[in-house]
Amino acid sequence: MPLFPIDNQPLADVSAARAAHAPVALITGGNVGIGRVTAIALAQAGYQVVIAGRSLERTQPVLDQIRSLALGPEALFLPLDLASLSSVRECAGQFKSLNLPLHLLINNAGVAGLRGKTVDGFEMAFGVNHLGHFLLTHLLLPDLTASGPARVVTVSSRAHKRTAGIDWDALQSPTRSWTGIDEYAVSKLANLLFSAELARRTQGTGVSCYSLHPGVVDTEIWRALPDWARPLLRWRGLITAEEGAQTTLHCALHAPVSESGLYFAKSQVAHTAPLGQDKALAQQLWARSEEWVKP
């Protein structure tokens, strides 16, 4: 699949000199919601932004808006379907072909309430929210290390507190719950555990890692929920995408390196559920994920 800068010209035409001194951030799902707000804010902070997502057409308005800022290098688009591990590999390979450094990876994209299995046979929320990002981070970790200091920011959720554990067999079965929220909670626990274990494994390499709860944000992530469930979210009090992006931006731009491996909410370190601090569970998740993403 082709890669596109914002003017739809081949990437070979993008000036390498223009990007030479700008830090580079890759964000998944940067076309809508908190991802869009984050991508624009990073461009304003001087980053060259690379947005990885499923649709150039839906991403183009964000790319155009960043271009209109005229602050630095043009934003780029990379095709990525997190429900397909082969697509993740292609995305990582295409990023490497840009010959850019990578200073910031934001694992932002996600699904909630979407039922079924990925093309690789994993429960949909787990496959998209965790496993796709696990593989993407694994493949880009050499680029992050070489560009250090670098950061990996993974959007988790306080929904991780709603699960009593990880049913390993269920992760390779279609979504079982009617709303998909139970599976979403497991995937968000996986995000948190992954970030903490990644921090332990990258200690001393110049890569720091953060996970976060953005708040219950009024975005398209809830589009797959049954109609009757959406009013319940509004009753709980949804916040705007601009408000929801603040903790991501704090972790990306301001959180101390000494807080690597921690979980944030409202732009400060927050408590996790006991399972979120289970190192043995995190190691088991890592080992299983490694096996699952092998070609």
- φ/ψ of residue 144, rounded to 5: -65, -45
Of 27, 48, 52, 24, which is closest to residue 248 (Cα–Cα)? 27
**DSSP state, 218?**
-
Catalytic site residue from 47, 184, 210, 263: 184
Q: What is the pLDDT of residue 221?
A: 47
Cα separation of 161 and 169, whole Å? Answer: 20
Predicted structure pTM score:
0.88
pLDDT at 229 over 80: no
* Beta carbons of 31 and 53 less than 8 angstroms apart: yes
Domain range 20-292, its CATH number among 3.30.70.60, 3.90.1580.10, 3.90.550.10, 3.40.50.720: 3.40.50.720
Q: What is the pLDDT of residue 240?
A: 87
- φ/ψ of residue 231, rounded to 5: -60, -30
User: Domain locations in the chain?
Assistant: 20-292
Contacts of 235 (CB under 8 A, 6+ apart): none
Work out the mean pLDDT of the chain and round it to a whole number.
89
Distances (CA, A) of 30 to 40, 50, 52, 108, 204: 9, 9, 7, 8, 29
Cα separation of 87 and 100, whole Å? Answer: 20
* Beta carbons of 199 and 137 less than 8 angstroms apart: no
How many percent of the chain have pLDDT more than 90? Answer: 79
Of 65, 138, 38, 50, which is closest to residue 101 (Cα–Cα)? 50
Q: Catalytic residue at 184? A: yes
pLDDT band with cut points at 50, 70 and 90 for residue 265: very high
